[in-house]
Amino acid sequence: MSPEGVLKTDDQAHAARTLWNLLHAWWQMMPKQERTLANADAAIRQARQDIDFLAVLPAQAAQAVLKTYFQAWKNCWDGRTDAPNFKSRLRTVMSVDIPQGRDLNIVRVHRRWGMINIPKVGRVRFRWTKDLPVGKRAGAQNRITGARLIKDGLGWHIAFRIQTLQAKPDPHQGPDIGIDVGVTVPIALSNGETYEHGAWLTDKEKARLLHLEQRAARRKRHRKPGERTSRRLHRTYDRIAGLRAKAKRRALDWQHKATTTIARTYNAVVVEALTITNMVKSAKGTVEEPGKNVAQKSGLNRSISGEAWGRTVTLLTYRTARYGGALVKVPAPGTSMRCSACGFTTSGSREFQAVFVCKNPDCGWSGNADHNAARNILHLYRTGLALVPAAGRAVVRRAKRVKPATAR
């Protein structure tokens, strides 16, 4: 994308974020009986006439913001997510929605590149990474319905929405598997297999990132209170964001490949129902009751957030369904302290972090702690304990055993 196109797309993303915030303010001010889609649409049209910079956002993209906002409230009422909130400039991912696929006019230039039409931006070249239903491949049941522009530290990217007709997959014939997620071993299976990865950045990239962070801190320290951020500091921030985006892209690529392999191999994938938000809470405490081991807990929180356990479960959820399997959640308490051989539970079984030693004198089994937890997770599923979501919360239900039919 040319520099001029980047500026135009940035303006559209800022206008979309502003429109969301205006909708949120309108929603809070209006009485409940007047919070309708028609009234919100009229308010958007009036805002686009009164505020000049909102006109850079296409009308279809503005309607997409409205539909997304109302869908966010529906998800909140159903208990799936929290209530929508104000979108800040620094913490919000810049994005623009193109809801109509017929406006794209996609043309493949050659093997690696294609051309697309972005409303109020013009023709833009993009890298062709996946097959798209364009030309002879397009049809009523296999077509592009829209796209979404997303910006990160590496620049603008485009994601296409494709409507396709797929046959219902046959039931998966593979075995069941339990999965324990961790920090040292990201994914440990109950059969002893592990999925591990190295550092997301090379040594040179880590040194470069450290140098840039030190430079940013030094330049920020010399800035006077109330003074605007210099262009040099902005460029330093952009380089830091580029390296972090590169690390995130590599992590996401590893997660996609690992979850695809698991979904293709196994039938029922059993995981723990972890409340990750509670696990990564700070240990600072209060002034009256300060916390302990704050620095160690902060490092653990960063490691847990870096592994993105929730995203792994999300990827496994739709991938297992695609290949005919299913993802099942079981209660998390006690899985790491319970012996998978005899069922004896004690808090002193993990004297070493990676080794589990059963304290039962009649058992004495020892093995890898992650594999032991994964075996316990699978055992909970086989005994009939599973978490079934109901009205936004999870409840424990025991599966009924089906008696085999007998001939009369």
Predicted model pTM: 0.79
Which option is the CATH number for 168-197+250-408: 3.30.420, 1.10.860, 3.90.245, 3.40.50?
3.30.420
Q: How far apart are CA 2 and CA 374, in angstroms?
A: 50
Residue 389: pLDDT over 60? no
Pair 270, 382: CB distance under 8 Å = no
Least confident among 233-237, 257-261, 301-305: 301-305
Helix (H, G, I), strand (E, B) or coil at 192: coil
Q: How far apart are CA 13 and CA 149, in angstroms?
A: 9
Annotated domain spans of the chain: 1-165, 168-197+250-408
Q: What is the band of 405 on the pLDDT scale with cuts at 50, 70, 90? A: very low
In this prediction, residue 401 carries a pLDDT of: 37
In this prediction, residue 382 carries a pLDDT of: 84
Residue 381: pLDDT over 70? yes
Strand 95-98, strand 113-118: pairing: unpaired
In 8-121, the DSSP E strands lie at 95-98, 107-108, 113-118
pLDDT > 70 fraction of the chain, expressed in percent and rounded: 90
Q: What is the mean pLDDT of residues 202-226?
A: 90
Helix (H, G, I), strand (E, B) or coil at 272: strand
C-alpha to C-alpha distances, 314 to 122, 190, 309, 318, nearest whole angstrom: 35, 20, 9, 7
Pair 177, 191: CB distance under 8 Å = yes
Angle CA 256–259–264, to nearest 5: 120
Q: What is the band of 262 on the pLDDT scale with cuts at 50, 70, 90? A: very high
Pair 326, 342: CB distance under 8 Å = no
Pair 162, 134: CB distance under 8 Å = no
* Cβ within 8 Å of residue 220, ≥6 positions away: 233
Q: What is the band of 400 on the pLDDT scale with cuts at 50, 70, 90? A: very low
